[in-house]
Amino acid sequence: MEETKKVKLSERTADRLYEMIVDEGRYAPGCKLPNENELSEALKVSRTTLREAISFLVAQGILEIRRGRGTFVAESLPAGGVDLTALSGLRSRVRAKDLFEMRLIFEPATVALACQRASDEELAMIAKKAERVEKVAAAGGDWPLADQEFHWAIIKASHNEYMRRLYPIINSAVGEIMQISQNRQHMQDTALGDNRTILEFLLQRDEVGARHAMSIHIRHLINVLRT
């Protein structure tokens, strides 16, 4: 039983380290990782667990161990799935609408999964992110970024690896479109109202309600883009 727990912890550690490298960009290709003591402390795991996680990522081609020098992120990371980076340069309203329609395909399903799988701590974090969107918007700050963090928290709570890897790619394109939108205030008002509804259903773990609320939210944004 203890061995099973140990394996699961090393896998979770490898997943978190992968997220820090690929999703969050904390360590660029070719970059040296912090030493073992620092990294194990940052990840809150033992050095043994960290070594196992690193070994897993080395086998996946994510990390490289260079004798006498330390552990480095691979110069060329393996492909992480469908390459949608070309979306980040799209500018036209039609293409923007296409992007939001793509969100319409998978985000309602994702929030339904979050209702099933999110821990109480993850739901609390989602609520905290929603509150932050409200505060940032009221202060005239970068509310689109705060809103993306709210949606990212939902994606993570779905515990679906493919959705976790797909969202940052799509998100970069969404962020760019939000920056050039002529209807930012309308989008802000729409997002704030819709987020409250989504959160309400999430906290109740109401899959059907959350799915519909997310679908309506994306459709609202598509309509704003048309104006």
Is residue 112 within 8 Å of 210, Cβ to Cβ?
yes
Tens digits of residue pLDDT in 152-187: 899 999 998 888 877 776 766 666 566 555 567 788
Tens digits of residue pLDDT in 61-99: 788 888 888 899 988 765 544 333 333 343 344 456 677
pLDDT higher at 123 or 180? 123
Distance CA(5)–CA(174), nearest Å, equals: 39
Q: What is the per-residue pLDDT for 85?
A: 39
On the 0-12 / 13-18 / 19+ scale of CB atoms within 10 A, 66 is exposed
- Full-model pTM: 0.60
